[in-house]
Amino acid sequence: MTLLNSALAQDIVTRTMKIIPYNVNVMDASGSIVASGNPARIGELHTGAMLALAKQLPVEIDSEGARNMHGAQPGINLPLTVNGQVCGAIGLSGAPDQVRQFGELVRLTAEMILEQAQLTGALQRDSRYRETFVLQLISSDQGARAGMEAWARRLGADFRRTHLVFLLELDDRAAGTVEALSEIQRLQMRLLARQPTALTAAASSHELVILDFYDVPVEAAAWAQRQLQALAALLDEEGAQAYALTVGIALAGLDEVAISYQSARTAARIGRTRDGGRRRYSYYDQALPVLLSGLDAGWQAEQLRQPMLRLQAQDKNKELLQRTLDTWFRNDSHLAATAEALHIHRNTLDYRLRRIGEITGLDLSRLEDRFLLYVSALLAHVD
C-alpha cells in the first residue's frame, strides 16, 4: 500500500507533536523512517516498527531492550491500518510507562489523517475520470462513441433521461490566470459535494461545463430557466467569483450532449453581444439566433446578409438606423413602444423605417420582407 508518502508522514508528525511532548516517528510498510521530529533519523530502519509490523501489534521497547537492539531507542510502536490494510507504523520516543497513555491517541490521529487523504485521493481520481468523460461527450468524437456507454454505466449516468448542459464562464479578465483555474477547480469540488449526480469538466482555465439529469415537465423553456436560477443560487452560496452562466437546450441521449453544449456556448456568445450587462443566458431566450448561427457559409448565408450589409454601408450617422432597427425588433415592431424607447417622435421613427426600407430594398409592411430583414440583422449580430 503506497498511501503513506513522506509529505503525508511529515504532516502526521507535525500535527501529533503539537499535542504530545514527545518525539514522533512515522515508518513506511518496510519499517524505514519517512518522517520524524528528529530529521536526522529519516531513512533509518526502525527496529521497533519492524517488529510491530511483523506482529501487527503494538511493540514496547524499554531502556534494557533498546540496549540489545542495534540503533533502537526506548518507546512504543504501533502499526497503522487504513481500510483493513497495514500501511506503516508510528512510534513515540520515551520510556513506555510515560508515552503509553498517548499511544492510542496518536495512532487514531494518524489513521484519521491517512483515511482523509485516501478519501480525498479517491475523490480526485473519480473527478478526473468524470471530467475526461464529459470532455469526450462535448467533443462529439464519434470514434470514442463505442466506449462511452460503458463509461456512463460505471458513472451511473442515465442518458435516457433529459440532460441540461450549463456553461459557467469566469470574468474575461481572469482568463488564463492561475487564480481562475484554482477557482474552477474549487467550484468543481463543491458541486461534486452539493450535486453528486452532476458531471463537470474544465473546458478551459476559466470555463466550467456542468452536465446534470432531470425529469422534464412539458414546458421546457420555463423549467430550464428555473434550473438556471437554482444553479446560480447554489454557486452564489459557494461564493463563486464574477461569472456568467448559460443553459443550453434540453435533450436526451449520449450523442446529444455535444449539441446541448454547443447551444449553450452559442447562446452565451450571442447573449453577450445583444445584452452584455446580463449574467444569465438561456438557449430558450434566443433560440432563433442560436439556430441561425449555423448559417455561416454558402450562398444562402451570403444572400441573407445582404440587407444588413447594404444598411451598414449607407448608415453614416453613427449607426443610427441600425440602432433604430434593433430597437424596433426588440419591441416586436410596435411603433409607440419603439419611439418611446428611442426618445423620438413617431414621425421621426416612421421616417427612419422608410429610409431603412429604401436602403435595403425591402417593404417593411410585408411580413416576409420584415422576417428577411430580421434574420439578416440576427446574422449580423452572431457573426
Nine cell digits for residue 55: 506482529
Cα 361 from chain centre: 49
CA distance 202 to 185: 8
User: Could you tell me if residue 127 is inside a domain?
Assistant: no
| pLDDT tens digits along 50-80 | 998 999 999 998 888 878 877 778 999 999 9
Last residue of a domain, one of 231, 262, 292: 292
Q: What is the pTM of this model?
A: 0.62
Cα 9 from chain centre: 31
Do 316 and 368 belong together in one domain? yes
Nine cell digits for residue 27: 515508518
Question: Exposure of 168 by Cβ count < 10 A (0-12 exposed, 13-18 middle, 19+ buried)?
Answer: buried
| pLDDT tens digits along 250-291 | 999 988 999 999 999 999 988 888 776 788 999 999 888 888
CATH number at residue 314: 1.10.10.2840
The predicted pLDDT at position 142 comes to 60
User: Could you tell me if residue 194 is inside a domain?
Assistant: yes
Do 287 and 174 belong together in one domain? yes
What's the domain range around 255? 140-292
Query: Residue 82: which H helix or E strand, with range?
Result: strand 75-82
If you search the block for the grid coordinates 519499517, which residue do you land on? 31
Nine cell digits for residue 346: 413617431
| pLDDT tens digits along 140-193 | 666 556 678 887 887 788 888 899 999 999 886 666 677 888 888 888 888 888
CATH number at residue 73: 3.30.450.40
User: Could you tell me if residue 311 is inside a domain?
Assistant: yes
CATH number at residue 211: 3.30.70.270
Last residue of a domain, one of 89, 120, 151: 120
User: Could you tell me if residue 102 is inside a domain?
Assistant: yes
Q: What percent of the chain has pLDDT over 90?
A: 39
Do 217 and 334 belong together in one domain? no
Coil, strand, or helix at residue 306? Answer: helix
The string over 192-205, giving b where at least 16 C-beta atoms fall within 10 Å of a residue's C-beta and e elsewhere, is beeeeebbbbbbeb
Q: Which residue has the higher pLDDT, 128 or 86?
A: 86
The predicted pLDDT at position 241 comes to 81
Do 165 and 260 belong together in one domain? yes
Do 149 and 269 belong together in one domain? yes
Q: How many domains does the chain have?
A: 3
Q: Which of 26-30, 102-106, 123-127, 265-269 has the lowest mean pLDDT?
A: 123-127
Do 80 and 150 belong together in one domain? no
Last residue of a domain, one of 120, 150, 178: 120
